[in-house]
Amino acid sequence: MRSAALRRCLAPALAAAPPPPLPPRRGLSAPLPRAGSAAAAARKVTDNARNSLASLKRENPRLEPTLAIIQAHNDQLIQEANKNFAKEIGLRVIHICLPEGSTKDEIVSEILRLNEDPNVQGLALDLPESLYSSKVLNAVKPEKDVDGLSSVNLGRLVHGDVCDCLVPPTVCAVMELLEDIGGKKVLLVGARGAEGAALQSVLQRRGAAVSSCHWEAPQLQSELRHADTVVFGSTKPHDVPVSCIKPGATIINCARDPLPEKHSHGQQNTPAAEKTVGSLAVAMRMQNMVKTMERWIQSQQYRKWDLRSLKLQPLSPVPSDIEISRAQSPKAVDVLAKEIGLLTDEIEIYGQTKAKVRLSLLERLKDQPDGKYVLVAGITPTPLGEGKSTVTVGLVQALTAHLNINSFACLRQPSQGPTFGVKGGAAGGGYAQVIPMEEFNLHLTGDIHAITAANNLLAAAIDARILHENTQSDKSLYNRLVPVVNGVRGFSAIQLARLRRLGINKTDPETLTEEEISKFVRLGIDPSTITWQRVVDTNDRFLRRITVGQANTEKGFVRQAQFDIAVASEIMAILALTTSLQDMKERLGRMVVANDKKGQPVTAEDLGVTGALAVLMKDAIKPTLMQTLEGTPVFVHAGPFANIAHGNSSVLADKIALKLVGEKGFVVTEAGFGADIGMEKFFNIKCRASGLVPSVVVLVATVRALKMHGGGPNVTAGAPLKKEYTEENLQLVADGCCNLQKQIQITQLFGVPVVVALNVFKTDSPAEVDLVCKIAKESGAFDAVPCNHWSAGGKGAVKLAQAVEKAANQKTSFKYLYNLELPIVEKIRIIAQKVYGAQDIELSPAAQSQVDRYTRQGFGNLPICMAKTHLSLSHQPERKGVPTGFILPISDVRASIGAGFIYPLVGTMSTMPGLPTRPCFYDIDLDPITEQVKGLF
């Protein structure tokens, strides 16, 4: 119904007093009895809608259904009608009144804004006839289309998908006023556009013989004489005589000034009284809004997955990773998101195959039980890596694509340091990888760049603050920190917070005393205590020690500093451990960057940079959705190294995935390097932060690594493997299984069942594979399974998936390794002795001094994050197998207070890797014609 006509129809309807409420109501899905009076029908619809909405609100107490109506005219009649009906039903209505003469583009712009407003569940239009174009109607999101006029909604209506569409309110009103029309002739006159099409479809579905024509049609009078029912879709011209209408015919007027219902146009040779849809159409709109709310509530609930797996056709020999990745056609990421139950407003799409997932999902699915939680760890690896990421991907491909069990892989974002250095990418490999692998390994959605920017902004703020404090008086500093803007001086929010921490409860900058001003402006940073370093996501050994401040403009403020690799930044650790945007902001503010000259910690909050850091990180906090080669979902989020940080993907990715998979599903995440490194930190740091408890640990081993631990020759990246690794040697394997047994024992310290996944290489003999599995089971593993996912995809990990499913049903007795209340040194000693097998620890004087300082500052109750080589259980990379009797040297102790842990540096551990003689970048290239990346692996 067009707005001008509706205004004319509504005038008498609004003036008339509504009839009294009618008894027992039915649900909105039940058909209402045919009413002779539009007012009586409107009353029924209103009562029915009110009762249904009240029921929805009882079940959802925080529900505030909101309908937005865009109108482009000055007449208040329609607005008043909508408000009255909405108020009676219990709906909230927002009217957006645009000026008369608004263009279609202006209308569309307003529609698009309301489409993205999460507080608006329904959207309706009251516009002049000329503005009802397909461009305008189709701008409305189908799920918010209360008037049911978008092409998507009409398409569903025409095809009979009545459960997925809304019948336009005017059409509902017409059908409500008609008696039984089966087999009767219905003429639509002047009914154009979307409403005309909808009305014709519904009438035909009801069994009517429908014809339509416009007012100027030459056959109009003939059609009028034969029609049993006539529906006026627009104003009847004066030159069309009423006498043309068949006597006794029913007239439904959707458009022109209504006539009194009892008025007739004559006696026996005149048609029956006209019926108008005015107020009834408005009531039907509100009923549609309640139906929209029912669907909205249903859409917010957990949805069963409807995932279409991608087929694999493995080749032999197995092509390169990038060739395999390119041979598969990934699903569009919005399709994948819909398959796993994500809503359209919960994803932010980056290109065709990546999307950020908004944290609002956690609130929507807060009552949904979590799935099973699986951690993939490994034995002490060779420099080549043993395939934990590949096992992780192969396992979820097996669970979902082959066993039809919901599963999610949660992986870390790879650093460009290893990608261009030694190790290469981290998307898995062979037929068990994340695709597109080049997008996974290069930039992704820019999270590491955001971390780099935030980290270096804070580093710049530290040095700049020291410079300005060294070169300015208290008064000058105060005038610059709290400037007069437009004649007014005021503190920013973060400055007010600093004043409160200082015990200065004042908000007027003019009231501070000189002593208070000095306390406020002087951080008094001791440059020798600065622990915050600049970062870059490149292996660059020449940045391990640098000098800053050598330019004349820095006025002689020179100090020694260094760069760390970006993934070693505390901000990366915070991203991986945070549980919400608010939690991240608080953690960023707590980061300790140095001490002042009195020995007290100086934080990012003191420097006034917390809000800016949060702004830089606001998108990085959202996990990135990708897919495996077989089309199963993957979250890629955060990427801390396990040897110099805690080595786990994000808590948020895990939590979101656990909700999405459902109670019987699995979330598989991985911990960096060996179980002694990444897994220990997963349990003692990440599980404490998340409150999540793992169901199973999958421990990845390879015959190659076991032979190395059994006394085989050194394995060097880029060099061919010696014959000991390519020929059967059962003795080497048996001797090396001591490392596997030790890692199983470490896992058992935490009370979680362990399944050993033997990542099979083509050079492994059946006897070697059988021997490893036999020893693993005898050493306490729940099961040990050889896996061929690298060459066969998920099909090659089905037995592993079945073993994991069985193990997940075992009762666990999870426990942490140490109590947080223990002294820092004692916690370090427990890890060294129980996990690494050390005889004891030895702290350098500098390390002991730092421990004493952190204890005094109140940081002694934090967990420990050891920075240690991943190539040995000890601190010496060359010591393989299970070293014993060694003293673990602690050269330094640092604190990541925002992340929430103390990290001791073992031996000569570096936080900036270097490039080898022949880095991976020699093989990486770009085809200028196809723009395809070459050489990634």
As annotated, the active-site residues are 388, 390, 412, 423, 642, 673, 761, 790
Please count the other Cβ atoms lying within 10 Å of the Cβ belonging to residue 845. 7
Distance in angstroms (rounded) separating the CA atoms of residues 67 and 437:
44
* Cis preceding linkage at 18, omega within 30: no
Distance in angstroms (rounded) separating the CA atoms of residues 604 and 853:
19
Quickly list H helices, 102-252: 104-115, 134-137, 151-158, 169-177, 193-205, 220-226
Per-residue b or e along 428-453, where b marks 16 or more CB atoms closer than 10 Å to that residue's CB: bbbbbbbbbbbbbbbebbebbbbbbb
Distance in angstroms (rounded) separating the CA atoms of residues 174 and 203:
10
Annotate 513-550 with DSSP letters as a single string: -HHHHHHHH---B-GGG----EEESS--GGGSSEEE--
Phi, psi dihedrals of residue 661, rounded to the nearest 5°: -75, -20
Amino acid at 441: N
At CA 376, angle to CA 901 and CA 779, rounded to 5? 105
Alpha carbon distance, N-terminus to C-terminus of the chain = 61
Residue 565, strand partner residues: 536
Q: What is the separation of C-alpha 27 from the centre of its chain, rounded to a whole number of angstroms?
A: 36
3-state percent helix, strand, coil for the chain, nearest multiple of 5:
40, 15, 40
Q: Which of 360, 363, 297 is nearest to 64 (CA)?
A: 297
**CA dist 130 to 2, 3, 133, 811, Å?**
10, 11, 7, 68
E strand map for 644-751? 666-670, 696-701
At CA 863, angle to CA 862 and CA 865, rounded to 5? 125
At CA 214, angle to CA 209 and CA 219, rounded to 5? 70
Long-range Cβ contacts of 718-721 (<8 Å, 24+ apart): 718/422, 718/916, 718/918
Please report which helix (H) or strand (E) contains residue 10, including its range. helix 3-15
Compute the chain's Rg from CA coordinates.
Answer: 35
Sign of CA dihedral 617, 621, 622, 628: positive
Distance in angstroms (rounded) separating the CA atoms of residues 582 and 172:
47
Those residues with Cβ within 8 angstroms of residue 739's Cβ, 6 or more apart along the chain or in another chain: 379, 380, 705, 706, 709, 873, 880, 881, 882
Decide: 652 and 623 in contact? Cβ < 8 Å: yes
Quote the tokens at residue 738. 């001591």
Total residue length of the chain: 937
* Cis preceding linkage at 118, omega within 30: no
Please count the other Cβ atoms lying within 10 Å of the Cβ belonging to residue 40. 15
* Farthest-apart Cα atoms in the chain, separation: 114
Q: Which of 704, 720, 767 is nearest to 712 (CA)?
A: 704
**CA dist 387 to 123, 393, 752, Å?**
51, 10, 22
Q: Which of 639, 662, 624, 659 is nearest to 333 (CA)?
A: 624
